[in-house]
Structure 1
Amino acid sequence: MTSAFDVPLRDDRAAVDKAISLLVALGDRTNAGAGVSELARRSRLSKSTAHRVLGMLERNGVVERVGTGYRLGERLHDLGRAVYAPGSETARDLLLPYLADLYETTRETVHLSVLHGSFVVYLAKLYGHRSGPVPSRIGGRA
């Protein structure tokens, strides 16, 4: 006879919930990447489920393999750019010469950004020579 403790707990989360929990776990790791075991633990999924969902995300370009681990993929960046700065490619291309002029005049780090709700989203950045490092990145929010 089996008891309730012998039956594995069923994870009733939908596939999209599982995928998002893995993406969030990967997002915390930046470019370093993470292995299946770590991602499964951080997203509270079984290792086999994490492996299966990561495979689906990889096939769709949302995550990519790095050695034996995974990291966020380029397609996710493209999707994020479309959300936070619609039309930003054209605006960036039109405004980049002015950004370069500002950089030439000041020799300081200059940013091109747009307001999205209550956040600023960085579209371009030119690094200055005289100032210290500025903790911002293209596509980042402040």
Structure 2
Amino acid sequence: MELTLTTPALLFPAISLLLLAYTNRFLVLAQLVRDLHARFKEEPDEILSGQIQNLQKRILLIRNMQILGVCSFFLCVFCMFLIFLNNYPFAEFTFACSLILLMASLGFSIKELLISAKALTLQLSDYEEIKIKN
């Protein structure tokens, strides 16, 4: 395979969109944590405490997703610089590392989505009971 300047550049839009999505998720969770923390301070509740702990895990995952995504982006740029210097063996290695970091970031994203879905399922667990009562 021939590695040209355009090959790592193809990842730029994908990584940029991923980082934007990760940032949006982080901002939504941060606001939710603030709201739940304020409610917890007013009226401590075990359910709120569990939700806050769940959100803390998710925020750490999103932080890791963002760090890996930024590192992947950095390695793509560095790879392009190495291609510019005609250092193709190291450029190929750097590009491979960039792809691995991007896959790891996506893996963390899957884990965060699974935790998110589980949290929503727990939140709706009493839905049937409330529905029957009403």
Tell me which interval the TM-score lies in, with the shorter structure as reference length: under 0.3
| TM-score normalised by structure 2 residue count | 0.25
Whose strand fraction is larger, Structure 1's or Structure 2's?
Answer: 1
Whose helix fraction is larger, Structure 1's or Structure 2's?
Answer: 2
Q: Flag the structure with more relative contact order, 1 or 2, with Cα contacts below 8 A and sequence separation at least 6.
A: 2
| TM-score normalised by structure 1 residue count | 0.24
